Amino acid sequence: MYQYALKRLAMIIPVILGVSLMIFIAMDLAPGTAVDYLAPEGATEEDLMMLEHQLGLDQPLLVRYANYMTDLVRGSLGTSYVSHRDVMATYLNALPNTLALAAASILVAIGISLPLGMISAVHNGSIRDNLAMVFALLGLSMPNFWVGLLLIIYLSNGLGWFPSGGFDDGLRSLILPAITAGTGFTATITRTTRSSMLDVLGQDYLRTARAKGVNERTVIRKHALKNALIPIITISGTQLGAMLGGSVLTETVFSWPGIGRLIVDSVNSRDTPMVTGSIVMTTIIVSLLLLAVDLLYAVVDPRLRARYASKGKG
């Protein structure tokens, strides 16, 4: 198992090399540079050249990339072209906001989806099933920013229950963004729960459990759910991973100072170190998360535990 985890960790390195190179190239191909963004009104050609030289932008792409990688190996993500602040520090400053939002949204989504998907599967084909599926479809088809705006209009501006943006109100300011970002997940996780449970509900071992005198609730919540869990963990983990890159729309609608906005702002100002650093960090965090999800499979399913062990040896 440890060996398996180590192997997975080692695989992050080539991914980072590839991802950062791609960002460098993309930022280089994009029209304009940080110089255009930073140059004051009426700057002369000479001023621009100076600025370009200061930022090192006069060097060829590969040299810049090599310099960046040397820094990275030393553990530095460089400094921002724009704010001149340390990239790592800026990233770590925004990270807790994104983590809080991601965790809260996934909790909202699972809290709604798991019961909904289970009810839907147990009462397959009934009115309850259909209602749940319509709800899931709505969640999937409503754009995030629109849900966010609705929530702001009714619950924040209308009733004044929650702040409409920022994050000064602690938990209360987290609720609306979490619901907004969670709605889209709710749909996917509900559908996954439903289909995974439907697969399991016909299994012989549930009949064995009933024949022992296990009550129906326990049959569903213990015997069936634990077997249905793997696809649910997969989809929730993937959704959570996607959120760690920041959810730009939700963060924008709620003025939430997370990674998503950080990256978008940095792309706009062609702040290559900031963009690359943020994405490299996100890549590492998402890889760790997916590894954690993989290890979680083994906790849930003893058959996979055995397989990891044998893979680790090989």
Partner 1 sequence: MKEELILDVKDLVVHYELEEETVYAVNGIDLQLRRGETLGLVGETGAGKTTAALAILRLVPDPPGVVKSGTITVAGHDMMSVSAKELEEIRGKDVSMIFQYPMTSLNPVFTVGEQIAESVMIHEHTAKEAAMERAKEMLELVGIPGSRANEYPHQFSGGMKQRVIIAIALTCNPKLLIADEPTTALDVTIQAQVLELMAALRKQYGSSMIMITHDLGIVAESCDAVAVMYAGRIIEYGTLEDVFNRTRHPYTEGLFNSLPNIRDRARALKPIKGQMPDPSVLPEGCAFAPRCPYATERCTQMPPQEHRFGGTHRVLCSAYDDPAFHIERGRQNG
Q: Which residues of 68-82 are buried (b: 16+ CB within 10 A; e: fewer)?
A: beebbeeeebbbbbb
| Inter-CA distances, 215 with 128, 184, 212, 222, 285, Å | 22, 34, 9, 10, 42
Q: Is the dihedral of CA 140, 146, 152, 158 positive or negative?
A: negative
Q: Which of 8, 123, 128, 223 binds partner 1 (CB under 8 A)?
A: 223
Q: How far is the CB of 165 from partner 1 (least distance, A)?
A: 44
Q: Which of 7, 85, 226, 311 binds partner 1 (CB under 8 A)?
A: 226
What amino acid is encoded at 121 in this protein? A
DSSP 8-state code for residue 273? H
Does 300 participate in binding partner 1 (rule CB under 8 A)?
A: yes
d(CA 279, CA 206): 45
Q: How far is the CB of 312 from partner 1 (least distance, A)?
A: 18
- With CA atoms as reference, report the closest residue to 194 among 236, 238, 228: 228
DSSP 8-state code for residue 31? S
Does 63 participate in binding partner 1 (rule CB under 8 A)?
A: no
Does 204 participate in binding partner 1 (rule CB under 8 A)?
A: yes
Does 216 participate in binding partner 1 (rule CB under 8 A)?
A: yes
Stretch binding partner 1 (CB under 8 A), from 3-11, 162-170, 288-296, 301-309: 301-309
Does 86 participate in binding partner 1 (rule CB under 8 A)?
A: no
Does 53 participate in binding partner 1 (rule CB under 8 A)?
A: no
Stretch binding partner 1 (CB under 8 A), from 147-155, 205-213, 235-243, 246-254: 205-213
Residue that is written with structure tokens 């022992």 in the block: 212
Interface ranges with partner 1 (CB under 8 A): 202-216, 223, 226-227, 300-303, 306
